[in-house]
Chains A and B, each alone.
Chain A
């Protein structure tokens, strides 16, 4: 990790967020939409974890700690919570997509849409 510039993870997170917003706004397939949201979640999680990273830091576990800096533990706790929540959200979304497919026979958001106006 020492050879990677420290702001590299932030660029990756920004890229993930940007691509995922493109997918969410422009893609018509509902499964692709869900993948976009999963990518958005991944981008935000990557951002949170890289916030807490300290160069050469060790994991924040208080047994047999070697000398030197320790990475921040709070963002890791936040990320863990966020991952768990996103699993629930994605599972619920996929359930609904299955039902939408059963009712309309299509995953295209233009074709499966009933409500307008």
Chain B
């Protein structure tokens, strides 16, 4: 067991990668065996993530050096700097890992029935597992260039999955937009990495953070990295591709794409807090995140009110919800240079933003899955054409209600517990942030109620007489996420103390991250 935990960080990345290329082979023999392989590998990865989370809670930051004689030998004998590829998993990374393992497992289960009528399913699962690899890699790596590589793996497989249903024209358009945005974003990241490497001769985040000077090229690199990651996370004003790509993907993939957005957000936080750290404490970067976060909240929700396409409507809400996290963590970044304010409300704001990531990662995929269930049953995404589906689809209706209450922040559901944490802390920074947050929350509830009414309520429509409840695997996938929501609803204090606060501290405490790389003795 100890050996397993020592090597768990690389196994979490390697198992989906190996399984991805086994799937076409196994898929040739039997479909059941292939599905079982997908589930078993993802479940084993989820088990490893939770074991690693427990280990990190006890022993602190987990380090894994690839190719070294011992995994904690970060600096090879005779070298001054870490030249090997290092995986570094701290509280924040493992939080993202937990989210990703749950959502990818649910998405895989959901796909079993959702894409059952498509051709080329073996390739679908290969791409899905490659996307899982890319996501875990982005979250766990301690190396900037690896971040770029895994970003590209997640983007390429994500774009291919968006465009998977080639019989529709809009999927091709959405996938093309996604890959163009990803290609530009990742080349900007690569350019920024080049700028940093040219000055400091290092690619390791911890080693770079130790020597970084905040010179003009560093500022350019920071701007490039932030633009790239916020563009891929779908922050207003770089959000125009976001609903196009997310609404056309198969619903299971849309749920996973939300988490890749969070992974890009995580990368932006990692760059701001860990790489630049204290140097941004008094700068405008925190304010920039807050202002564009507010814009995202507001633009996202106002655009969502007018949407008729159920997936597009939920995509705009995703933009709006991402705004809450930018605002929460942005407030924390803005007061990072002021220890008194940081202790008063800055840390709580960061905790709130991170807690909202966890909550959003549970209810937004759930809502996308219910949207996919509606599309599966009715064959349309147009809300005006639906109606009276509550009579036929009881499970989907209940799960949709749970998701709706959660996203609108109705007490006591989990969306409320993170929003109240954000509201209380950012109010002390500036009251207008809280006021906007509450208005956006009300608009969210209003538009979700409207969508609920048009899809589920009313008399049974004659064209949906034959509609049945969705297949069991789709319900299981939705119930997994709903169970997550209910668990967080019941034990918010437990989650905050054990997962969220360590993650916030991991972002604030830049020194621990650096020490884990440079201070380790061979």
A44 to B148, CA, bound (A): 13
In the complex with contacts A44-B190, A44-B191, A96-B176, A89-B198 CB distance below 8 A: no
In the complex with contacts A44-B190, A75-B197, A97-B176, A115-B170 CB distance below 8 A: yes
Query: Is the pair B149, A51 in contact by a Cβ cutoff of 8 Å?
Result: no
Stretch among A54-62, A63-71, A80-88 lining the B interface: A80-88
In the complex with contacts A81-B149, A115-B173, A44-B187 CB distance below 8 A: yes
A97 to B176, CA, bound (A): 8
Residue B348 CB within 8 A of the other chain: no
In the complex with contacts A44-B187, A103-B169, A93-B197 CB distance below 8 A: no
Query: Is the pair B163, A37 in contact by a Cβ cutoff of 8 Å?
Result: no
In the complex, chain A residues whose CB is within 8 Å of the CB of B160? 92
Partner of A100, one of B155, B169, B203: B169
In the complex, chain A residues whose CB is within 8 Å of the CB of B182? 89
In the complex with contacts A47-B191, A89-B156, A92-B160, A100-B197 CB distance below 8 A: no
Partner of A96, one of B172, B184, B203, B247: B172
Closest residue on chain A to residue B176 by CB atoms: A96
Residue B194 CB within 8 A of the other chain: yes
Give the distance to chain B from A49, nearest Cβ to Cβ, in Å: 10
Chain B count of residues within 8 A CB distance of the other chain: 39
Closest residue on chain B to residue A37 by CB atoms: B183
Query: Is the pair B306, A48 in contact by a Cβ cutoff of 8 Å?
Result: no
> Within residues 23 to 49 of chain A, which ones have a CB less than 8 A from any CB in chain B?
24, 30, 33, 37, 40-41, 44, 47-48
Query: Is the pair B191, A115 in contact by a Cβ cutoff of 8 Å?
Result: no
In the complex, chain A residues whose CB is within 8 Å of the CB of B166? 99
Query: Is the pair B179, A93 in contact by a Cβ cutoff of 8 Å?
Result: yes
Query: Is the pair A103, B172 in contact by a Cβ cutoff of 8 Å?
Result: yes
A30 to B303, CA, bound (A): 27
Residue A5 CB within 8 A of the other chain: no
> Within residues 292 to 309 of chain B, which ones have a CB less than 8 A from any CB in chain A?
303, 306-307
Query: Is the pair B184, A113 in contact by a Cβ cutoff of 8 Å?
Result: no
The listed residue with most A CB atoms (<10 A of its CB), out of B160, B176, B186, is B176
Residue B328 CB within 8 A of the other chain: no
Query: Is the pair A78, B145 in contact by a Cβ cutoff of 8 Å?
Result: yes
In the complex with contacts A93-B176, A112-B173, A41-B187 CB distance below 8 A: yes
Give the distance to chain A from B254, nearest Cβ to Cβ, in Å: 15
> Within residues 150 to 166 of chain B, which ones have a CB less than 8 A from any CB in chain A?
152, 155-156, 159-160, 163, 166
Query: Is the pair A100, B184 in contact by a Cβ cutoff of 8 Å?
Result: no
Residue B180 CB within 8 A of the other chain: yes
Query: Is the pair A104, B190 in contact by a Cβ cutoff of 8 Å?
Result: no
Query: Is the pair A96, B179 in contact by a Cβ cutoff of 8 Å?
Result: yes
Residue A6 CB within 8 A of the other chain: no
In the complex with contacts A51-B194, A75-B194, A113-B173, A37-B145 CB distance below 8 A: no
Query: Is the pair B190, A48 in contact by a Cβ cutoff of 8 Å?
Result: yes
Closest residue on chain A to residue B192 by CB atoms: A44
In the complex, chain A residues whose CB is within 8 Å of the CB of B183? 37, 40-41, 86, 89, 93
Partner of B197, one of A44, A74, A104, A112: A74
Query: Is the pair A37, B156 in contact by a Cβ cutoff of 8 Å?
Result: no
In the complex, chain B residues whose CB is within 8 Å of the CB of A86? 183
> Within residues 500 to 522 of chain B, which ones have a CB less than 8 A from any CB in chain A?
none
Give the distance to chain A from B493, nearest Cβ to Cβ, in Å: 42
A92 to B160, CA, bound (A): 7
A44 to B194, CA, bound (A): 8
In the complex, chain A residues whose CB is within 8 Å of the CB of B97? none
A97 to B152, CA, bound (A): 19
In the complex, chain A residues whose CB is within 8 Å of the CB of B203? 74
Closest residue on chain A to residue B189 by CB atoms: A44
A9 to B186, CA, bound (A): 22
A61 to B24, CA, bound (A): 38
Residue B323 CB within 8 A of the other chain: no
Residue B174 CB within 8 A of the other chain: yes
In the complex, chain B residues whose CB is within 8 Å of the CB of A24? 180, 184
Give the distance to chain A from B156, nearest Cβ to Cβ, in Å: 6
Partner of A92, one of B179, B186, B193, B194: B179
Query: Is the pair B172, A37 in contact by a Cβ cutoff of 8 Å?
Result: no
Give the distance to chain A from B408, nearest Cβ to Cβ, in Å: 23
A114 to B168, CA, bound (A): 11
Give the distance to chain A from B20, nearest Cβ to Cβ, in Å: 15
A51 to B193, CA, bound (A): 11
Residue B206 CB within 8 A of the other chain: no
In the complex, chain B residues whose CB is within 8 Å of the CB of A93? 176, 179-180, 183
Query: Is the pair B190, A51 in contact by a Cβ cutoff of 8 Å?
Result: no
Residue B88 CB within 8 A of the other chain: no
Query: Is the pair A115, B244 in contact by a Cβ cutoff of 8 Å?
Result: yes
A106 to B443, CA, bound (A): 39
Query: Is the pair A96, B163 in contact by a Cβ cutoff of 8 Å?
Result: yes
In the complex, chain B residues whose CB is within 8 Å of the CB of A78? 145, 190, 193-194, 197
A24 to B183, CA, bound (A): 11
Give the distance to chain A from B476, nearest Cβ to Cβ, in Å: 32
Residue B286 CB within 8 A of the other chain: no
Residue B175 CB within 8 A of the other chain: yes
Give the distance to chain A from B132, nearest Cβ to Cβ, in Å: 18
Instruction: Provide a sorted-by-A list of 18 A–B residue pairs whose CB atoms are within 8 angstroms.
Output: A17-B191, A24-B180, A24-B184, A37-B180, A40-B184, A44-B194, A47-B191, A89-B152, A96-B159, A96-B172, A100-B176, A103-B168, A103-B169, A114-B170, A115-B173, A115-B174, A117-B303, A117-B306
Q: A78-B194, A92-B159 are in contact. List 4 more A-B contacts (CB 8 A).
A: A24-B180, A85-B149, A99-B163, A99-B172
- Interface set of A (CB-CB < 8 Å, partner B): 17, 24, 30, 33, 37, 40-41, 44, 47-48, 51, 74-75, 78, 81-82, 85-86, 88-89, 92-93, 96-97, 99-100, 103-104, 112-115, 117
